[in-house]
Structure 1
């Protein structure tokens, strides 16, 4: 009996330590919605290019600026949705939304993401845009892996998938658009759904 109590105590201590070092209030539903936003945004971009640019995207054209706006709106809507749903989940679990752990999570996520974004802007300015989709997937995957140690550890697996898709995209740039949809759209929906039923429903 004492041995059983001892094991229970160890388990409780481990759970407390895990909670104190990881931000576990991330919403799976926000991942699903981010994936939906990405697919809708990709469909709009495809329609713009095929309708007004004859299937060719010029870097200095009006349609190109609309595509950049489209990407920015996908990111903005995804961030706003994540903040709203994660805040709501944290309140339900009586947890702080902005503490030391969540600050470290955000910092570790943003560092690779910002560096990658700046690098992509540099090569776009140099009119080297063939690997843009691959770089977006790779740097996003690195950001997820880097942040995973401060959140639900399974996020790193999504990061690995994004990196693999990015490398495939680098090998076959002609399929970059569809691999981008797979990485940012479908994988977000699949992973967000899994997270929702595993963590949010409990």
Structure 2
């Protein structure tokens, strides 16, 4: 009986070692919570920048504006998006690095490299596509594109970290597709996809892996 228990423990240990060598398991629930808060803050700022009380169904409105006024709005939106991205990435890296150090693991591992590469490729493609849409004044589609490509990036990276990342990606894609059906409510879907879903994910991750 003791031999059976010992064998089971050995198998668990081997499985854990193999998982740690192929997956990056230092993601922090706090990073998800802060990402959600940053996204909501960005949406609130955008609400006051975009004409007509945050109604992003304003493609024609922007086209009818004087070019200098439209350019100012576009630059303010771009700066807001960049600030949200910068603080989100910085926070995610900080908490992940802290988690890795606290658990006695290395942050920069083959698994973390694969995670970042698989995350970056769909994100870069989505970002370039969104820029093309912005230059062509198709603002209605930018938020759905962000949500869909972000979801694809999470699914792609989910093979190299916690399974919850994969399921978060599924929900992001669904949110993006529904957002494409109601493009004038894009900011609300931004809050749902990048804000609320991240906060829920972060709380779940913290309770499951860090408490």
TM-score by length of 2: 0.90
1:1-202 alignment runs, 5 A limit:
1=1, 2-50=3-51, 56=58, 58=62, 60-201=70-211
Long gaps (5+) in structure 2: 64-69
Distance 2:55 2:15 in 1: 59
The structure with the largest helix share of the pair is: 2
| 8 Å contact from structure 1 (residues 58, 64) kept in 2 | no
Structure 1 segments unaligned to the other structure (5+ residues): none
- Superposition CA RMSD, Å: 1.8
Residue 146 of structure 1, CA deviation: 0.3
Q: Is the 8 A contact 1:53 1:63 kept in 2?
A: no
Once the two structures are superposed, residues 163-195 of structure 1 have per-residue CA deviations (whole angstroms, 9 ceiling, x without a partner) of 000010111212221011100011111111111
- Residue in 1 that maps onto 2:67: none
Q: Which residue of 1 aligns with 2:66?
A: none
CA gap of 1:54–1:24, structure 2 versus 1, over 3 A, is: closer
Residue pair 1:105, 1:151 contacting (<8 A) in 2 also = yes
TM-score (norm: length of structure 1)? 0.94
Do the aligned partners of 1:52 and 1:63 also contact (CA within 8 Å) in 2?
no
**Shift of the alpha carbon at 1:61?**
2.6
Deviations 1:95-134 (A, max 9, x none): 0000111000000000000011111111222222221111
Kindly state the Cα deviation for residue 51 of structure 1 after the two structures are TM-superposed.
7.8
Secondary structure of 1:46 counterpart: helix
Moved more, 6-15 or 141-150: 6-15
Aligned partners of 1:25 and 1:62: how far apart in 2?
A: 40
